[in-house]
């Protein structure tokens, strides 16, 4: 399988000092790119999910630090990078890749005295390249878990659109599909923002992977009718293996446990957060009520309805059959350091 096997528009491009992002708010109807020329453009793109998915957010933030600064002298540049890093880090709290990538850029800023812009651009490119390589490694490691004609359930979007490469949860599926093993993917639509319906179904269909879209409340029925395994991504994994991922992941994990279906979490090592001892230490983002009361701009709930809208939930480690990482398959007990 090569990078061109997938027929999916590029998520992130860095071109002549400009950050160009596929606007994922507009998918699947419109394939439109937006150009971030200021750090506020980058902040808004992350905050409003024009770019989303843990690895992609990290890469976008690394390049995003640099927009508009190409002509700056080293010393004011360094100060501006530190200011911007703090700002971008506040765009979304749950995906650890955001802070992880910004920390790498800050370390370079503090260590390098001259030719700082060039050195920072190299670091952002390295973060991008490592993400591409991690996705491929996850794909090859995870492919060993998938037999011929497997029926696989996934939640949210942890595919190419969420990374710089083939994705995390979807990478093993792309690899086995390229090998002719004919996987069939059941895609949770993933309310409230429909990343499954809008993004996962879109990228699987464009890549020639057989898939069936279901609403989230159909997952139990589809499992009862026969699912071989579930694979999801992660936004942050605590030292003990508790997993923060898109709201509804916990439902999938509990259902898998009930039906005896393997539940795999695919993620690069950059998504592991040893500083969080357990999932209780992970900050969960809460988002605007409109995401629940409206669908595609249409109100579906009474005006003023009280809403609870956490963007992520935490799946306890005992429900995770194994992690598919870029370094290989990790089975319990989990101790990430
Ligand atoms: O709110 P989102 O769309 O950024 O949430 C994305 C997810 O939860 C993904 O599963 C996770 O970031 C892994 S992406 C490889």
Kindly state if the Cβ of 65 falls inside 6 Å of ligand 1. Answer: no
Query: Would you call 235 a catalytic residue per the annotation?
Result: yes
Sheet of 33-36: strand order equals 12-15, 18-22, 33-36
Contact call for residues 158 and 53 (beta carbons, < 8 A): yes
Q: Compute the distance from residue 236 Cα to the ligand 1 centre, in Å.
A: 10
Pocket test for ligand 1, best of 24, 158, 161, 251 (most atoms within 8 A of CB): 158
CA-based Rg of the chain, rounded to a whole angstrom? Answer: 19
Tokens 């004609």 — which residue? 149
Find all residues with CB under 8 Å of 331, minimum gap 6, and list them. 321, 322
Kindly state if the Cβ of 94 falls inside 6 Å of ligand 1. Answer: no
pLDDT of residue 1: 77
Contact call for residues 216 and 251 (beta carbons, < 8 A): yes
Beta strands 33-36; 151-154: pairing state: unpaired
Distance separating alpha carbons of residues 323 and 263, to the nearest angstrom = 9
**Cα separations (Å) of 97 from 4, 184, 303?**
25, 29, 36
pLDDT of residue 112: 84
Of 41, 188, 235, 273, which residue is the catalytic one? 235
Q: How many CB atoms lie within 10 A of CB 214?
A: 17
Kindly state if the Cβ of 11 falls inside 6 Å of ligand 1. Answer: no
Per-residue HEC secondary structure of the chain comes to CCHHHCCCCCCEEEECCEEEEECCCCCCCCCCEEEECCHHHHHHHHHCCCCCCHHHHHHHHHHHCCCCCCCCCHHHHHHHHHHHHHHHHCCCCCCHHHHHHHHHHHHHHHHCCCCHHHHHHHHHHHHHHHHHHHHHHHHHHHHCCCCCCCEEEECCCCEHHHCCCCECCCHHHHHHHHCCCCCEEEEECCCCCCHHHHHHHHHHHHCCCEEEEECHHHHHHHHHCCCCEEEECCCEEECCCCEEEECCHHHHHHHHHHHCCCEEEECCHHHEECCCCCHHHCCCCECCCHHHHEECCEECCCCCCCCCCECEEEECHHHCCEEEECCEEECCCCCCC
CB hemisphere CA count around 270 (13 angstroms): 27
- The pair of structure tokens assigned to 62 is 């690394």
- The pair of structure tokens assigned to 1 is 């399988």
Kindly state if the Cβ of 59 falls inside 6 Å of ligand 1. Answer: no
Degrees to nearest 5, angle at CA 261 with 55 and 169: 15
- Count of residues in the chain: 337
Tens digit of each residue's pLDDT, the chain (337 residues): 766 779 999 999 999 999 999 999 999 999 999 999 999 999 999 999 999 999 999 999 999 999 999 999 999 999 999 999 999 999 999 999 999 999 999 999 999 878 999 999 999 999 999 999 999 999 999 999 999 999 999 999 999 999 999 999 999 999 999 999 999 999 999 999 999 999 999 999 999 999 999 999 999 999 999 999 999 999 999 999 999 999 999 999 999 999 999 999 999 999 999 999 999 999 999 999 999 999 989 999 999 999 999 999 999 999 999 999 999 999 999 999 9
pLDDT of residue 170: 98
Kindly state if the Cβ of 39 falls inside 6 Å of ligand 1. Answer: no
Ordered by where they begin, the domains of the chain are 3-135 (1.20.120.420), 141-330 (3.40.50.10470)
Q: Compute the distance from residue 191 Cα to the ligand 1 centre, in Å.
A: 13
Contact call for residues 26 and 49 (beta carbons, < 8 A): no
Q: Compute the distance from residue 188 Cα to the ligand 1 centre, in Å.
A: 13
CA neighbor of 10 nearest in space, from 178, 1, 20: 20
């Amino acid at each position: 399988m090569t990078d061109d096997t997938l027929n999916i528009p590029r998520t992130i491009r860095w071109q002549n000092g400009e950050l160009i992002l596929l606007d994922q708010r507009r998918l699947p109807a419109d394939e439109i790119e937006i150009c971030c020329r200021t750090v506020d453009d980058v902040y808004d793109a992350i905050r409003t999910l024009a770019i989303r998915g843990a690895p992609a957010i990290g890469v976008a933030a690394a390049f995003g630090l640099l927009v508009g600064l190409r002509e700056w002298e080293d010393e004011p540049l360094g100060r501006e990078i530190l200011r911007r890093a703090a700002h971008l880090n506040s765009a979304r709290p749950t995906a650890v890749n955001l802070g992880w990538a910004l920390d790498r850029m800050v370390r370079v800023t503090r260590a390098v005295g001259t030719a700082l812009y060039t050195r920072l651009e190299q670091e952002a490119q390295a973060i991008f390249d490592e993400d591409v390589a991690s996705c491929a490694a996850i794909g090859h490691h995870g492919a060993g878990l998938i037999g011929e004609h497997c029926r696989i359930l996934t939640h949210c979007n942890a595919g190419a659109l969420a990374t710089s490469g083939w994705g995390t949860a979807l990478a093993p599926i792309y690899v086995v599909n390229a090998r002719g093993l004919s996987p069939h993917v059941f895609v949770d639509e993933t309310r409230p923002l429909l990343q499954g319906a809008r993004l996962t179904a879109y990228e699987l269909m464009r890549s020639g992977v057989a898939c069936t879209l279901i609403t989230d409340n159909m997952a139990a029925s589809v499992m009862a009718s026969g699912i071989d395994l579930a694979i999801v991504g992660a936004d942050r994994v605590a030292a003990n293996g508790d997993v923060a991922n898109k709201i509804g992941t916990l439902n999938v994990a509990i259902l898998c446990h009930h039906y005896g279906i393997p539940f795999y979490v695919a993620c690069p090592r950059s998504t592991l957060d040893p500083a969080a001892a357990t999932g209780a230490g992970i900050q969960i983002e809460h988002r605007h009520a409109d995401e629940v009361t409206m669908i595609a701009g249409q109100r579906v709930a009474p005006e003023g309805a009280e809403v609870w809208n956490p963007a992520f939930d935490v799946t306890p480690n005992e429900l995770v059959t194994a992690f598919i990482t870029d370094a290989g398959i990790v089975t319990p007990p989990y101790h990430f350091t």
